Structure 1
């Protein structure tokens, strides 16, 4: 029998991120007919949310890959989402929407 190492294979790793302080996150709130005051308020609310630096995020991802993790959870929000989905699989979307509204996002 041939060893597994003799066959080409792909290892999949999924990264679940929370807030990461990047230009993408800063530009995620965009115009869609809202006035500038509403947009600025939404950006302030968004920026109050906890975020992680890109460097720290990259270190977590690299360490997860090096340690053969198939799921890498970044930031507390991603960890909480993971728990909620596992504990309340049928109701997690309702719980998440309530939190989004509560945070004003």
Structure 2
């Protein structure tokens, strides 16, 4: 299980059927600090299924690209898939 307590989390893409507001509320209830941008404090990026650019399918979102660059530069950021995020949601309701 992913522990988001006290972690700085950024969401990119869609996490349907949750709205962004619901996803943020869930994360904050789990103790996460949710930001709208990738920064030096970012520890987790949740990559939703529609984080790709619709006009350029091979191009990732700016948040995703920024995360990859920061990881390459040595910053420790964990990228969590949409599936892993929903596992976290399910496990929190058990």
Instruction: Assess same fold via TM > 0.5.
Output: no
Larger RCO (alpha carbons 8 Å, 6+ apart): 1
- Larger helix share, 1 or 2: 1
**Under a length normalisation based on structure 1, what TM-score does the superposition of the two structures give?**
0.29
**Under a length normalisation based on structure 2, what TM-score does the superposition of the two structures give?**
0.31
* Larger Rg, first or second structure (1 or 2): 1
- Larger strand share, 1 or 2: 2
